[in-house]
Amino acid sequence: MKKTVLITGITKGIGRALAELFAEEGFNVAGCARNEKEINTFKAELWNKYENQRFLLASVDVSDKIAVQAFASDVLSEFETIDVLINNAGIFIPGTILGEDDGIFEKQINTNLASAYHLTREIVPGMKLKKSGYVFNICSTASIKAYPNGGSYCISKFALLGMTKVLREELKEHNVKVTAILPGATLTDSWKGTDLPESRFIKPKDVAETIWNAYLLSKNTVIEEILIRPQLGDLS
Protein backbone atom coordinates (compact mmCIF):
# COMPACT_ATOMS: atom_id res chain seq x y z
CA MET A 1 0.00 0.00 0.00
CA LYS A 2 1.44 3.34 -1.04
CA LYS A 3 2.07 5.96 1.61
CA THR A 4 0.59 9.44 1.38
CA VAL A 5 2.08 12.88 2.04
CA LEU A 6 0.02 16.02 2.60
CA ILE A 7 1.69 19.34 1.77
CA THR A 8 0.28 22.86 2.06
CA GLY A 9 1.56 25.57 -0.26
CA ILE A 10 2.26 22.86 -2.80
CA THR A 11 2.62 24.66 -6.14
CA LYS A 12 5.70 26.81 -5.51
CA GLY A 13 9.10 26.84 -3.87
CA ILE A 14 9.69 24.37 -1.06
CA GLY A 15 6.19 22.88 -1.33
CA ARG A 16 6.56 22.05 -5.01
CA ALA A 17 10.05 20.60 -4.49
CA LEU A 18 8.64 18.41 -1.71
CA ALA A 19 5.73 17.19 -3.83
CA GLU A 20 8.04 16.30 -6.71
CA LEU A 21 10.45 14.45 -4.43
CA PHE A 22 7.83 12.46 -2.50
CA ALA A 23 6.02 11.57 -5.73
CA GLU A 24 9.29 10.38 -7.23
CA GLU A 25 9.73 8.17 -4.16
CA GLY A 26 6.34 6.52 -4.81
CA PHE A 27 4.07 8.47 -2.44
CA ASN A 28 0.50 9.47 -3.13
CA VAL A 29 0.33 13.25 -2.80
CA ALA A 30 -2.35 15.51 -1.36
CA GLY A 31 -1.88 19.24 -1.22
CA CYS A 32 -3.31 22.69 -1.52
CA ALA A 33 -2.48 26.22 -2.61
CA ARG A 34 -4.47 29.37 -3.28
CA ASN A 35 -4.15 29.69 -7.06
CA GLU A 36 -6.61 27.32 -8.78
CA LYS A 37 -4.93 27.55 -12.18
CA GLU A 38 -1.54 26.64 -10.73
CA ILE A 39 -3.12 23.77 -8.78
CA ASN A 40 -4.75 22.33 -11.90
CA THR A 41 -1.57 22.64 -13.95
CA PHE A 42 0.60 20.96 -11.32
CA LYS A 43 -1.96 18.21 -10.73
CA ALA A 44 -1.99 17.40 -14.46
CA GLU A 45 1.82 17.25 -14.47
CA LEU A 46 1.86 14.78 -11.58
CA TRP A 47 -0.89 12.61 -13.05
CA ASN A 48 0.87 12.41 -16.41
CA LYS A 49 4.18 11.47 -14.86
CA TYR A 50 3.00 9.04 -12.18
CA GLU A 51 0.08 7.02 -13.51
CA ASN A 52 0.06 4.48 -10.68
CA GLN A 53 -0.20 7.00 -7.85
CA ARG A 54 -3.07 9.04 -6.50
CA PHE A 55 -3.16 12.82 -6.27
CA LEU A 56 -5.61 15.17 -4.60
CA LEU A 57 -4.75 18.83 -5.09
CA ALA A 58 -7.18 21.61 -4.26
CA SER A 59 -7.42 25.38 -4.23
CA VAL A 60 -7.68 26.37 -0.56
CA ASP A 61 -7.24 29.62 1.36
CA VAL A 62 -5.43 28.21 4.38
CA SER A 63 -6.08 31.40 6.37
CA ASP A 64 -9.74 30.27 6.48
CA LYS A 65 -10.28 27.74 9.28
CA ILE A 66 -13.47 26.31 7.75
CA ALA A 67 -11.78 25.87 4.37
CA VAL A 68 -8.85 24.06 6.00
CA GLN A 69 -11.17 21.72 7.88
CA ALA A 70 -13.21 20.97 4.75
CA PHE A 71 -10.03 20.24 2.80
CA ALA A 72 -8.79 17.90 5.55
CA SER A 73 -12.11 16.05 5.43
CA ASP A 74 -11.77 15.57 1.66
CA VAL A 75 -8.21 14.31 2.05
CA LEU A 76 -9.15 11.79 4.74
CA SER A 77 -12.10 10.59 2.67
CA GLU A 78 -9.74 9.93 -0.24
CA PHE A 79 -6.76 8.47 1.62
CA GLU A 80 -8.12 7.50 5.08
CA THR A 81 -4.83 8.24 6.82
CA ILE A 82 -1.82 10.43 6.10
CA ASP A 83 1.72 9.22 6.69
CA VAL A 84 3.52 12.56 6.42
CA LEU A 85 2.06 16.03 7.05
CA ILE A 86 4.13 19.02 5.94
CA ASN A 87 2.76 22.39 7.06
CA ASN A 88 4.51 24.57 4.53
CA ALA A 89 2.04 27.30 3.49
CA GLY A 90 3.09 30.78 4.47
CA ILE A 91 3.04 34.42 3.55
CA PHE A 92 5.58 37.17 4.16
CA ILE A 93 4.44 40.77 4.38
CA PRO A 94 7.26 43.05 5.57
CA GLY A 95 6.51 45.69 8.15
CA THR A 96 6.88 46.80 11.74
CA ILE A 97 4.60 46.15 14.68
CA LEU A 98 3.82 49.85 15.04
CA GLY A 99 3.67 50.57 11.32
CA GLU A 100 1.80 47.63 9.79
CA ASP A 101 -1.63 48.20 8.28
CA ASP A 102 -4.58 46.99 10.30
CA GLY A 103 -5.29 43.33 9.50
CA ILE A 104 -1.74 42.36 8.52
CA PHE A 105 -1.16 40.69 11.88
CA GLU A 106 -4.30 38.56 11.56
CA LYS A 107 -3.52 37.63 7.95
CA GLN A 108 -0.03 36.38 8.73
CA ILE A 109 -1.02 34.64 11.96
CA ASN A 110 -3.90 32.87 10.22
CA THR A 111 -1.80 31.83 7.23
CA ASN A 112 1.49 30.96 8.89
CA LEU A 113 0.30 29.59 12.23
CA ALA A 114 -3.42 28.90 12.50
CA SER A 115 -3.47 26.92 9.24
CA ALA A 116 -0.88 24.51 10.64
CA TYR A 117 -2.70 24.31 13.97
CA HIS A 118 -6.09 23.48 12.45
CA LEU A 119 -4.78 21.05 9.84
CA THR A 120 -2.70 19.25 12.45
CA ARG A 121 -5.78 18.83 14.64
CA GLU A 122 -7.63 17.22 11.75
CA ILE A 123 -4.88 14.97 10.40
CA VAL A 124 -2.74 13.87 13.33
CA PRO A 125 -5.40 11.97 15.34
CA GLY A 126 -5.21 9.31 12.61
CA MET A 127 -1.45 9.08 13.09
CA LYS A 128 -1.93 8.63 16.82
CA LEU A 129 -4.39 5.80 16.27
CA LYS A 130 -2.03 3.83 14.04
CA LYS A 131 0.99 4.89 16.14
CA SER A 132 2.88 6.00 13.08
CA GLY A 133 3.41 9.25 11.22
CA TYR A 134 5.56 12.32 10.75
CA VAL A 135 4.82 16.05 10.99
CA PHE A 136 7.18 18.63 9.52
CA ASN A 137 6.49 22.30 10.19
CA ILE A 138 8.28 24.77 7.92
CA CYS A 139 9.35 27.47 10.32
CA SER A 140 12.14 29.95 9.51
CA THR A 141 15.30 31.51 10.84
CA ALA A 142 12.75 34.21 11.75
CA SER A 143 11.50 31.70 14.34
CA ILE A 144 14.65 32.21 16.40
CA LYS A 145 15.90 35.68 15.46
CA ALA A 146 13.92 38.89 15.08
CA TYR A 147 15.03 41.20 12.32
CA PRO A 148 14.14 44.70 11.09
CA ASN A 149 10.90 44.87 9.11
CA GLY A 150 9.97 41.38 10.32
CA GLY A 151 6.88 42.53 12.20
CA SER A 152 4.00 40.08 12.34
CA TYR A 153 5.86 37.58 10.17
CA CYS A 154 8.48 37.03 12.88
CA ILE A 155 5.75 36.76 15.50
CA SER A 156 3.94 34.09 13.49
CA LYS A 157 7.11 32.09 12.90
CA PHE A 158 8.23 32.27 16.55
CA ALA A 159 4.78 30.93 17.44
CA LEU A 160 4.96 28.13 14.85
CA LEU A 161 8.23 26.92 16.34
CA GLY A 162 6.60 26.99 19.77
CA MET A 163 3.67 24.96 18.48
CA THR A 164 6.09 22.45 16.97
CA LYS A 165 7.85 22.00 20.31
CA VAL A 166 4.53 21.45 22.09
CA LEU A 167 3.41 18.96 19.44
CA ARG A 168 6.66 17.04 19.77
CA GLU A 169 6.05 16.59 23.49
CA GLU A 170 2.44 15.53 22.94
CA LEU A 171 3.22 12.93 20.29
CA LYS A 172 6.51 11.35 21.36
CA GLU A 173 4.75 8.55 23.28
CA HIS A 174 2.55 7.80 20.28
CA ASN A 175 5.42 7.06 17.89
CA VAL A 176 4.61 10.11 15.78
CA LYS A 177 7.65 12.18 14.87
CA VAL A 178 7.71 15.99 14.76
CA THR A 179 10.42 18.17 13.23
CA ALA A 180 10.78 21.93 12.84
CA ILE A 181 12.55 23.06 9.68
CA LEU A 182 14.15 26.51 9.92
CA PRO A 183 15.34 27.67 6.50
CA GLY A 184 17.06 30.96 5.91
CA ALA A 185 16.65 32.88 2.64
CA THR A 186 15.34 30.39 0.09
CA LEU A 187 14.93 31.18 -3.60
CA THR A 188 11.13 31.26 -3.77
CA ASP A 189 8.56 33.78 -5.00
CA SER A 190 9.09 35.79 -1.81
CA TRP A 191 12.36 36.97 -3.35
CA LYS A 192 10.99 37.49 -6.85
CA GLY A 193 12.64 40.48 -8.54
CA THR A 194 15.68 40.53 -6.27
CA ASP A 195 19.01 41.68 -7.69
CA LEU A 196 20.91 39.25 -5.48
CA PRO A 197 22.65 36.30 -7.18
CA GLU A 198 21.26 32.76 -6.78
CA SER A 199 24.39 31.85 -4.81
CA ARG A 200 23.05 33.89 -1.88
CA PHE A 201 20.01 31.65 -1.49
CA ILE A 202 19.11 28.13 -0.42
CA LYS A 203 17.61 26.04 -3.20
CA PRO A 204 14.08 24.71 -2.45
CA LYS A 205 15.26 21.27 -3.56
CA ASP A 206 17.91 21.31 -0.82
CA VAL A 207 15.24 21.88 1.82
CA ALA A 208 13.11 19.10 0.35
CA GLU A 209 16.00 16.65 0.34
CA THR A 210 16.84 17.56 3.93
CA ILE A 211 13.28 16.72 4.95
CA TRP A 212 13.36 13.46 3.02
CA ASN A 213 16.62 12.39 4.70
CA ALA A 214 15.18 13.18 8.14
CA TYR A 215 12.13 11.08 7.25
CA LEU A 216 14.36 8.11 6.38
CA LEU A 217 15.89 7.82 9.85
CA SER A 218 15.07 4.75 11.93
CA LYS A 219 11.97 4.75 14.13
CA ASN A 220 14.22 5.17 17.17
CA THR A 221 15.49 8.58 16.12
CA VAL A 222 14.00 11.99 15.39
CA ILE A 223 15.68 15.29 14.54
CA GLU A 224 13.69 17.89 16.46
CA GLU A 225 15.00 20.99 14.66
CA ILE A 226 16.94 21.57 11.46
CA LEU A 227 18.47 25.01 10.87
CA ILE A 228 19.42 25.67 7.24
CA ARG A 229 21.25 28.76 6.03
CA PRO A 230 22.86 29.90 2.77
CA GLN A 231 26.55 29.05 2.62
CA LEU A 232 27.43 32.77 2.77
CA GLY A 233 25.17 33.36 5.75
CA ASP A 234 21.91 35.16 6.38
CA LEU A 235 20.78 38.05 4.27
CA SER A 236 20.61 41.32 6.19
Note the residue count of the chain.
236
DSSP codes joined into one string, the chain:
---EEEEES-SSHHHHHHHHHHHHTT-EEEEEES-HHHHHHHHHHHHHH-TTS-EEEEE--TT-HHHHHHHHHHHHHHHSS-SEEEE---------TTTSPTTHHHHHHIIIIIHHHHHHHHHHHHHHHHT-EEEEEE--GGGT---TT-HHHHHHHHHHHHHHHHHHHHHGGGTEEEEEEEE-SBSSGGGTT--S-GGGSB-HHHHHHHHHHHHTS-TT----EEEE--TT----
Q: List beta partners, residue 180.
A: 137, 225
Active site residue 153: yes
Amino acid at 1: M
**Catalytic: which of 50, 117, 153, 215?**
153
List residues with catalytic annotation.
153
